[in-house]
Structure formats: C-alpha cells, structure tokens
Structure 1
Amino acid sequence: MPHTIDNVNQSTDDVLDLIHTVMHQVRSQQYRILRDGPHDITHMDSRVLGYFGRHPGATQSDLAAFSGRDKAQLARLVKGLRDRGLLRATPDETDRRNVRLDLTEAGRTIQDTLRQQAALVGEKAVAGFSEDERAQLALLLRRLQSNLDA
C-alpha cells in the first residue's frame, strides 16, 4: 500500500499509542509488585529512591529538574523518605543552604530489591527477543527519545 499522509499519521499514532500501552502495562506490574511486596513503597517513592540511588549526593532541586515534577510534591516525598530512614540528608559543604541526599543502608536495600523486581518485569517484557532484536528496539527507542528532545 502506498504511504499517504493519512497512513503515515495513523502509523505514528499507532506507534505512540502502543508505547503508551506498554508503559502502562509495565507500571501496572511494577505497582502490583510494590503493593504486594514487604515494603510500604509507592511508585513515586520508588522513583525518588531510584534517582538518589543513581545520583548520590544530588539535591532535591536536581530531582525536580530531572523529573519535571512539582517541587512541593517532591518535598513531601523526600521528607517522608527521610522520616522513614530511607534517605539521608547532608548539608552541602560549599553552600549550607543546599542539602545533599543519598540512600541510607535501609534505602539501598529496598532500592536493590526494587531494581531486581524491575529487572524481572523487563525480562518478561522482552522474553523471546534475540539479542539483536533487543539492541534494535533500544536503538529505535533512543532515536525516538532523541527526536523528542530536539
């Protein structure tokens, strides 16, 4: 069938809709793991822990810039995680107004568990894919991300 503008737009809509559907399925399975797991962790808690696990010593402002989330919402999340002993705050040595955050041992343990569970969901998602197919999918998604970043 020849490509017309309508066919291309429909195809683009289908691709974006499929990406949305797949992410919804992934989040749903991750939510189920969090809900049924031994830790009282919400999806956003896990995202915040994941961020500071990957960026130890980052600030709450760094998290806000990275996530694009509301600063007040993030402040409540960070405070809750600090109160529960999952995040540790250290004053910035060069600017005492800034607080550097990193995972406590308990936070690291939970983050490690969450990362293992996410890996299981990821493996389920690409079950039956060859290494070449996985690499091609990652390449295409990175190109899609790059197009949207431009």
Structure 2
Amino acid sequence: MQKSVDIVNQTEGQVAETVVESIHSVMHLFRAQQYRVLRDGPHALTTMESKVLGFFSRRIGATLSDLVSHTGRDKGQLARLIGGLRDRGLLEAKADEEDRRNLRLYLTADGAAIHRTLHRQRQRLSSLAVEGLSTVEREQLLAVLAKVRANLERAS
C-alpha cells in the first residue's frame, strides 16, 4: 500500500523537504533495484564504478584525464577507482601510441558484459518507473524536474 503524504498541514519548508525526500527515495529505490542484478555475481559495483564503465564504453580509449575533465571529480579518487576496476579485470590500459606516458583505457570483455547488463536493467526499470503515466504526465514530470534542477544549479 502506498503511503499518502499530507501536505495540507505542512509549512512551505516542510513541503519542500518532503518533495526532495521523495525524489531521493525514488532514486535510492531505482539504484538498489538496478544493482540487484549484480549483487550475487562476482562483480558487485558501486554507482561511481558503473558510471566509469559507462564513460569508457562511450569514449573508447579515453584517459584518466578525460574522465577527470568530464566528471570534475578528484584525480586521485578516480585513479584509485580505475585501479580497482583494472585489478578486477573490468578495465585494461594500453600505452598511447603517440605519447607512451598516457594510458588509454578500455573495457575488458567482462567490463563490457557488466555494462550491458546494467544498461538493460536501467532500461527495464525506467520503463517500469513511468508505467501508467500518459505522455502528457511524463512531459509535465520532466518539466517540473527541470525546474527543480535549474533552481539547484542557480543556487550553486
């Protein structure tokens, strides 16, 4: 049974917190179900590890510096994350032909298989999440979420 939310008797600040908590819970539930497909396998991944695999699946042969530029995250943190993925056989590095100091990163066969599994699961869950919503409702939801995002981006 779905829990109802009483916003009539809440202050504006409480309603805002309820909205943001709701967005958070939906994404938490989505991520938990997304990674459930890998939980029992040999390669349980974190969200960031899966994003890194996705990056290198789209940008074949990119470098750590490319990833840092794309994400804006700490280079040391990403280097450790990539090292872990390499140790687990999900990424491999090859020296750049023009500059042997640079390492180009590629998904291994196992890394590509895991990425495909996560992609299929994400597609399935995305369809399930919006099931029963009309096209108009989906467009309205996207518009409202775009406003929420714009508000947060403006605040930073």
The answer to whether TM tops 0.5 is yes
Residue identity in the other structure for 1:15: V
RMSD of Structure 2 on Structure 1 (CA): 2.6
TM-score (norm 1): 0.75
Given the alignment, which residue of 97, 106, 111 partners 2:110? 106
Deviation digits for residues 47-76 of structure 1 (CA, Å, limit 9, x no counterpart): 221222233333223334544544433222
Shift of 1:97: 3.7
Q: Distance in 2 between matches of 1:54 and 1:140?
A: 29
State the percentage of identical aligned residues. Answer: 50
SS in 1 for 2:114: helix
The alpha-carbon distance between structure 1 residues 28 and 137, as it changes in their structure 2 partners (threshold 3 A), is: same
Question: Hey, what does 1:41 align to over in structure 2?
Answer: 44
Question: Hey, what does 1:31 align to over in structure 2?
Answer: 35
Question: After the TM superposition, which residues 65-84 of structure 1 pair with which residues of structure 2 at under 5 Å, given as runs?
Answer: 65-84=69-88
Q: Which runs of 5+ in 2 are unaligned?
A: 1-9
TM-score (norm 2): 0.73
Are 2:35 and 2:118, in contact at CA under 8 Å, matched by a contact in 1? no
Q: Distance in 2 between matches of 1:98 and 1:135?
A: 44
Are 1:39 and 1:110, in contact at CA under 8 Å, matched by a contact in 2? no
1:55 maps onto 2:75 in alignment: no
Q: Which runs of 5+ in 1 are unaligned?
A: 1-5
Shift of 1:114: 1.0
